[in-house]
């Protein structure tokens, strides 16, 4: 134990000196009277003493042979089986009480002053104790010191604490510290630092133990730290060059391209803000918001001391698309500590190991176990660190697994990974340490519902308390959400009058800044001059009508996209259009494909419909005539461009996002390279019964988006959707005075979103009764979402000096992205994911036959674990089953059937890719029956689901 105490203290010192970002250190330093020296001493001392609770009979009785040796030295204790109540004294809680008693009895501390320090020992296993647990252990003192030998136990405990305190140079500081009031964010960060130090010091490969070993060996720590080789944090240097030069150096700008006014203004604000804080960038699609965010992040990091950057995106697909862009940016960054070696990089979502770029960084091969328990069990092989070609970026071996990956310096992940920081869950302190040392970039901020927004607001509140710079990006952010985000980060109530101008602002593009203790500021840069006028029309929700209109508009060729709100409508539409136009002219894109097929679909979309330079780079050629029938996957993440769009009605912000895929890139002077009838961008809106009053969205759309936002969307678009002869001279929402039924991008984005999400009545008088009913249903639904979100929502940071006792009480265990994990921070039902294989005519199992690169049709052994490359291929054939399988009775039945058909050999612990996974076996015709449904999968249509006959 004394050896582990010394190891933990030594590791904590190295972490403080070489790994903890300046941004985190500064927060702790500012809380202590002795500044930096005090902060380091406190961190080291807390690590040294965190396991003092193991010097108790409740812990020591577990191994009888060792316990007997202690008894011979006078440390009496009952046998293990004679201590049924020892569960009341987990060693973290026991250590908390022992430290408290030591401070009170030997150093004269008031008991009330001790909690904020000793809670760190209590919470070092991921869950700070609550008051009932503390009181219960206090009523069982014999678990800490056996009756009859209390003095001997106390002597050992005090000696360990006295020696640790002297070794850490803390003795003379204790008197001053008892007057300190540690802010709760500081308590969280110190707890996380102790956890990391404990996990590293507990690894026997790094810190081996030898019987009879005496004394402290400095080489022991040096050797272990050198073997661990933990990458240092980013040390950003503040760029001083003009914005144009900065962007030219950091990003691949087309030759002769000029940076956009929004990008220039983002750089200016980042440089001029008194302290780095929140920066909200609202600008049209295609304006380079991501590049603006990364440029601002570099400036913020240099000024705040952030040691990395986390980019949060709505989905795994958007995360995968962002990851190579982040790597390109990183390779261009200067670093004032470049001689310190590599930077740690991670892609953080449940399928990160299947991403090509990240797999290359990890040198795809042996999958690491995620063993977070006290840091034991990880393999330490530097050959398994994967470096980029420049040897500057590394997927570090220790920073793997769902609890540690976020501690990497640079992370791209789903928004869930950020929202988990607002979820009461085990080892939450580690997630806070991970984000507290970074700049956080939140993309597509409009894409989150009330449930998710509750978590986002709470996380922003904590990020503001930590002083974490945050950049929020959106093309279509409702004004109320802008105000809520700014108020949350600033730590004030949303109805604070100082934030009214944030909601009232009508400029677009718009940049908003906020920080705790300051009033928000607004800046309205000029638009870039790029714009697209989109003619909008109604289209009856009839497949023959759709086919006739497409035949007419595509008579001279062209590329059209039909966006449906449900996959079932995608399938129905594609089948009908194929009968009319042929299979080769109609393709589909949605989320119900195998992972490898989805990746191939995305690549094909970019090769056919991406920017001209991207199409040329991929060796593709824009099709003469093509119809893509897609779900919402084309709404974001993919830089693709169509001549014509047909879209189901959606909330207006999402509908505008879809319109951003029309004429996204110039194709010849005046779009002259597009077919003549399609040189004007046109969006036909369908998925609505236009004959009712008000028009009625189809049931599938209402299930996804709810009726109220759909009717509000219809109401604000109604002036644009009038028949030509009935069109008003100046549409009510067209504030630039333009005539006709044309939505101007970006000019109409802000007024349309503002009116759709505002409270004023919109739409014709005869709609109002139905809209009022829909509004009531919507308000009830949002209230229910807020209530449900609050069940596991972390509390705001409490007053300084208040201990983190019960910090995550009533929490939900571990936060993760396993099956059902996303439902912890999203208002969705538990979902089921399967790995898909095929059973051939001879009864053998194989990978599905159409996979490229010689991966398809490979026989799979059933009596043994498949070789890692083959197992990885199976793991890359993951498929999330649709909503029909989210209902509890169907879900339970499906799991039961899938588990009954599992391949036993694949569940072996060495089966890193397949153990614990559910396998869906398709027959020769790629069909299967599951839980009363017939499933059919093809690489052309994805998964189709029908009720069994």
CATH number at residue 117: 1.10.3210.30
Tokens 């030898």 -> residue: 210
Each residue of 251-280: pLDDT tens digit?
987 666 789 999 999 999 999 999 999 999
Same structural domain, 203 and 347:
no
The tokens of 739 are what? 């005539």
The tokens of 561 are what? 């996209």
Give CA 372 to chain center in angstroms: 20
**pLDDT given at position 216:** 56
**pLDDT given at position 636:** 76
Closest-CA residue to 608 (of 567, 668, 561): 561
CA–CA distance, 49 with 170 (Å, rounded to integer): 12
**pLDDT given at position 827:** 60
Closest-CA residue to 587 (of 940, 81, 192): 940
CA–CA distance, 830 with 888 (Å, rounded to integer): 8
In order of 183, 187, 519, the CA distances from 797 in angstroms are 8, 11, 21
CA–CA distance, 44 with 521 (Å, rounded to integer): 41
Phi and psi, residue 409, nearest 5°? -70, -45
For 643, which DSSP code? S
Helix (H, G, I), strand (E, B) or coil at 247: helix
Closest-CA residue to 115 (of 94, 92, 96): 96
Residue 785 in any domain: the answer is: no
Same structural domain, 318 and 208:
no
Same structural domain, 607 and 489:
no
Cβ–Cβ under 8 Å, residues 804 and 123: yes
Cβ–Cβ under 8 Å, residues 277 and 514: yes
CA–CA distance, 338 with 392 (Å, rounded to integer): 9
Phi and psi, residue 311, nearest 5°? -110, 120
CATH of residue 332? 3.40.50.300
b/e per residue 546-563 (b: at least 16 CB within 10 A): bbebbeebbeebbbbbbb
CA–CA distance, 683 with 655 (Å, rounded to integer): 10
E strand map for 619-718 = 625-630, 644-648, 681-686, 688-689, 696-697
CA–CA distance, 890 with 867 (Å, rounded to integer): 33
Cβ–Cβ under 8 Å, residues 930 and 890: no
Torsion angle (degrees, nearest 10) of CA 409, 410, 415, 421: 10
Torsion angle (degrees, nearest 10) of CA 236, 237, 243, 247: -50
Domain boundary, last residue among 191, 226, 261: 226
210: left (phi over 0), alpha (psi -120 to 50) or beta: beta
Closest-CA residue to 265 (of 500, 478, 521): 521
Tokens 């969006």 -> residue: 683
**pLDDT given at position 279:** 98
633: left (phi over 0), alpha (psi -120 to 50) or beta: alpha
**pLDDT given at position 344:** 86
Same structural domain, 498 and 635:
no
Helix (H, G, I), strand (E, B) or coil at 714: helix
Same structural domain, 538 and 421:
no
Q: Could you tell me the residue range of the domain that residue 674 belongs to?
A: 532-770
Tokens 């002083």 -> residue: 467
CA–CA distance, 934 with 905 (Å, rounded to integer): 27
Same structural domain, 504 and 585:
no
Tokens 């961008």 -> residue: 681
Same structural domain, 175 and 66:
yes
Cβ–Cβ under 8 Å, residues 874 and 903: no
Tokens 């408290």 -> residue: 100
pTM of this structure: 0.90
The tokens of 549 are what? 């209109």
For 793, which DSSP code? B
Cβ–Cβ under 8 Å, residues 902 and 861: no
Cβ–Cβ under 8 Å, residues 299 and 239: yes
CA–CA distance, 187 with 219 (Å, rounded to integer): 31
Count how many Cα atoms sit within 13 Å of the Cα of residue 27 in the half-sphere of its side chain: 27
Domain boundary, last residue among 192, 226, 260: 226
Cβ–Cβ under 8 Å, residues 253 and 291: no
Helix axes 316-332, 595-609, angle to 10 degrees: 60
Report strand pairing: 393-395 vs 343-348.
parallel
Count how many Cα atoms sit within 13 Å of the Cα of residue 538 in the half-sphere of its side chain: 19
Cis peptide leading into residue 514 (ω within 30°): no
Contacts of 229 (CB under 8 A, 6+ apart): 341, 382, 385, 396
**pLDDT given at position 373:** 35
Give CA 787 to chain center in angstroms: 22
Closest-CA residue to 901 (of 835, 818, 857, 831): 835
Cβ–Cβ under 8 Å, residues 194 and 50: yes
Same structural domain, 185 and 248:
no
Same structural domain, 758 and 872:
no
CA–CA distance, 117 with 97 (Å, rounded to integer): 11
The contacts found for 33-40 with CB under 8 angstroms, 24 or more apart, are 33/176, 33/177, 33/179, 33/180, 34/173, 34/176, 38/173, 38/176, 38/177, 40/13, 40/16
For 369, which DSSP code? P
Tokens 């972490």 -> residue: 15
Residue 684 in any domain: the answer is: yes
Residue 805 in any domain: the answer is: no
Residue 803 in any domain: the answer is: no
Same structural domain, 601 and 692:
yes
Termini Cα distance of the chain:
66
Residues of the chain with pLDDT under 50: 215, 364-392, 724-740, 817-821
Same structural domain, 844 and 732:
no
Residue 64 in any domain: the answer is: yes
Cβ–Cβ under 8 Å, residues 746 and 509: yes
| 903-907-911 Cα angle (round to 5) | 115
Cβ–Cβ under 8 Å, residues 916 and 634: no
Domains identified in the chain, total number: 4
Residue 539 in any domain: the answer is: yes
Which string of DSSP letters, residue by residue, matches 417-448? HHHGGGB--TTHHHHHHHHHTSEEEE--GGG-
Using CB atoms within 10 Å of the CB of residue 786, give its burial: 0 to 12 exposed, 13 to 18 middle, 19+ buried: middle
Domain boundary, last residue among 523, 544, 559: 523
CA–CA distance, 640 with 645 (Å, rounded to integer): 12
Residue 809 in any domain: the answer is: no
**pLDDT given at position 830:** 64
As beta bridge partners, residue 837 has: 921
Same structural domain, 172 and 289:
no
Residue 424 in any domain: the answer is: yes
Closest-CA residue to 590 (of 558, 611, 561): 561
């Amino acid at each position: 134990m004394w050896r582990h105490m010394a190891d933990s203290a030594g590791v904590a010192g190295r972490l403080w000196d070489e790994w903890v970002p300046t941004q985190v250190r500064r927060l702790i330093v500012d809380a202590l009277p002795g500044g930096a020296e005090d902060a380091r001493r406190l961190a080291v001392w807390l690590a040294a003493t965190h396991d003092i609770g193991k010097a108790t009979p409740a812990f020591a009785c577990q191994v009888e042979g060792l316990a007997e040796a202690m008894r011979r030295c006078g440390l009496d204790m009952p046998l293990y089986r004679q201590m049924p109540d020892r569960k009341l004294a987990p060693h973290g809680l026991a250590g908390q009480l022992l430290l408290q008693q030591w401070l009170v009895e030997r150093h004269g501390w008031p008991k009330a002053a001790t909690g904020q320090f000793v809670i760190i020992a209590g919470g070092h296993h991921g869950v700070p104790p609550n008051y009932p647990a503390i009181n219960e252990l206090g009523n069982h003192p014999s678990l800490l010191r056996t009756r009859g030998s209390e003095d001997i136990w106390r002597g050992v405990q005090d000696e360990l604490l006295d020696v640790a305190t002297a070794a850490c140079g803390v003795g003379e500081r204790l008197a001053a510290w008892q007057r300190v009031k540690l802010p709760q964010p500081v308590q969280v960060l110190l707890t996380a630092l102790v956890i990391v130090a404990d996990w590293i010091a507990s690894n026997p490969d790094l810190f081996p133990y030898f019987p009879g070993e005496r004394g402290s060996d400095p080489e022991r720590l040096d050797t272990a730290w050198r073997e661990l080789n933990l990458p240092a944090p980013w040390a950003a240097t503040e760029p001083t060059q003009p914005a144009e030069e900065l962007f030219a150096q950091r990003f691949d700008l087309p030759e002769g391209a000029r940076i956009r006014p929004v990008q220039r203004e983002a750089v200016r604000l980042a440089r001029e803000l008194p302290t780095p804080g929140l920066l909200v960038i609202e600008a049209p699609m295609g304006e380079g918001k991501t590049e603006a965010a990364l440029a601002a992040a570099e400036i913020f990091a240099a000024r705040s001391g952030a040691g990395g950057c986390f980019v949060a995106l709505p989905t795994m697909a958007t995360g995968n698309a962002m990851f190579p862009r982040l790597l390109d940016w990183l390779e261009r960054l200067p670093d004032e500590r470049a001689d310190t070696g590599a930077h740690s990089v991670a892609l953080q979502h449940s399928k990160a190991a299947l991403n090509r770029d990240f797999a290359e960084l990890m040198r795809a091969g042996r999958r690491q176990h995620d063993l977070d328990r006290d840091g034991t069990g990880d393999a330490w092989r530097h050959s398994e660190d994967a470096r980029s070609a420049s040897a500057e970026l590394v997927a570090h071996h220790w920073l793997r697994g769902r609890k540690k990956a976020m501690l990497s310096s640079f992370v791209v992940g789903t928004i869930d990974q950020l929202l988990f920081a607002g979820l009461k869950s085990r080892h939450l302190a580690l997630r806070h340490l991970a984000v507290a040392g970074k700049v956080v970039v939140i993309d597509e901020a409009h894409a989150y519902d009330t449930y998710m927004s509750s978590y986002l607001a709470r996380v922003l509140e904590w990020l503001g308390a930590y002083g974490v710079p945050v950049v929020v990006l959106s093309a279509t952010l409702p004004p109320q959400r802008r105000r809520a985000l700014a108020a949350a980060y600033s730590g004030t109530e949303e109805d604070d009058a100082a934030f009214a101008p944030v909601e009232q602002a009508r400029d677009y593009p718009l940049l908003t800044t906020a920080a705790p203790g300051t009033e928000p500021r607004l800046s309205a840069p000029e638009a870039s001059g790029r714009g697209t006028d989109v003619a909008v029309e109604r289209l009856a929700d009839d497949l023959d009508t759709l086919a006739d209109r497409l035949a007419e508009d595509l008579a001279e060729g062209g590329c059209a996209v039909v966006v449906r709100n449900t996959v079932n409508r995608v399938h129905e539409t594609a089948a009908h259009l194929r009968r009319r136009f042929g299979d080769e002219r109609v393709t589909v894109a949605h989320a119900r494909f195998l992972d490898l097929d989805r990746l191939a679909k995305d690549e094909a979309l970019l090769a056919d419909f991406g920017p001209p330079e991207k199409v040329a780079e991929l060796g593709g050629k824009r099709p003469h005539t093509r119809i893509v029938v897609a779900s919402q996957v084309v709404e974001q993440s993919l830089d693709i461009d169509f001549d014509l769009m047909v879209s189901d009605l959606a909330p207006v912000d999402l509908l505008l996002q879809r319109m951003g895929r029309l004429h996204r890139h110039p194709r010849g002077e005046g779009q002259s390279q597009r077919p003549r009838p399609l040189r004007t961008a046109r969006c036909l809106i369908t998925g609505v019964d236009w004959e009712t009053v008000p028009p009625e969205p189809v049931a599938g759309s209402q299930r996804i988006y709810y009726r109220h936002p759909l009717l509000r969307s219809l109401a604000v678009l109604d002036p644009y959707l009038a028949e030509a002869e009935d069109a008003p001279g100046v549409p009510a929402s067209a504030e630039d005075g333009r005539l006709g039924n044309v939505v101007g991008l970006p000019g109409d984005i802000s007024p349309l979103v503002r009116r759709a999400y505002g409270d004023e009545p919109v739409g014709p008088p005869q709609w109002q009764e139905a809209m009022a009913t829909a509004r009531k249903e919507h308000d009830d639904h949002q209230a229910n979402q807020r209530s449900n979100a609050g069940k596991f929502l972390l509390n705001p940071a409490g007053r300084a000096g208040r201990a983190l006792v019960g910090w995550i009480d009533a929490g939900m265990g571990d936060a993760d992205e396993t099956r059902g994990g996303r439902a912890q921070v999203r208002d969705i039902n538990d979902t089921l994911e399967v790995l898909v294989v095929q059973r051939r005519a001879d009864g053998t199992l194989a990978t599905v036959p159409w996979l490229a690169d010689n991966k398809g049709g490979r026989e799979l052994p059933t009596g043994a674990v498949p070789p890692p490359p083959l197992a990885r291929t199976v793991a890359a054939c993951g498929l999330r089953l649709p909503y029909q399988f989210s209902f509890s009775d169907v879900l339970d039945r499906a799991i039961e059937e899938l588990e009954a058909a599992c391949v036993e050999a694949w569940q072996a612990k060495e089966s890193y890719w397949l153990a614990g996974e559910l396998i869906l076996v398709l027959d020769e015709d790629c069909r299967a029956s599951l839980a009363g449904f017939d499933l059919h999968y093809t690489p052309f249509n994805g998964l189709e689901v029908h009720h069994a006959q």
